[in-house]
Amino acid sequence: MRRRDFMLRWIGAIILVATPAFAGDALTGPVKVLDGDTLELQGRLVDLYGIDAPEAEQVCAMADESRYRCGEKAAAALRERIGTTSVSCLPQGGTTQDRLTAVCHLGETDLSAWMVVHGHAIALRDGTGGYLAKQTHAWGRRVGLWAGVFDEPASWRRARLRAEPATGVKP
CATH topology of domain 20-167: OB fold (Dihydrolipoamide Acetyltransferase, E2P) (2.40.50)
pLDDT above 90: percentage of residues in the chain? 71
Q: Is the pLDDT of residue 53 over 60?
A: yes
Which residue, 131, 119, 41, is CA-closest to 87?
Answer: 41
CA angle, corner 19, sides to 14 and 20, nearest 5?
A: 150
Q: What is the mean pLDDT of the chain?
A: 85
Q: How confident is the model at residue 165 (pLDDT cuts 50, 70, 90)?
A: low
Segments making up each domain of the chain, as ranges: 20-167
Q: Is the pLDDT of residue 140 over 70?
A: yes
Helices (H), the chain: 2-18, 70-82, 111-117, 132-141, 153-167
Q: How confident is the model at residue 161 (pLDDT cuts 50, 70, 90)?
A: confident
Q: Quick one: pLDDT at residue 88?
A: 98
Q: Which pLDDT tens digit goes with each residue over 54-100?
A: 999 999 999 999 999 999 999 999 999 999 999 999 999 877 778 89
| Of 80 and 167, the one with more pLDDT | 80
Report yes or no: 99 and 92 within 8 Å, Cβ to Cβ.
no
Ramachandran bin of 168, using left for φ above 0, alpha for ψ from -120 to 50, beta for the remaining angles = left
pTM of the model: 0.80
CA–CA dist 71, 49 (Å, integer): 17
Q: Is the pLDDT of residue 145 over 80?
A: yes
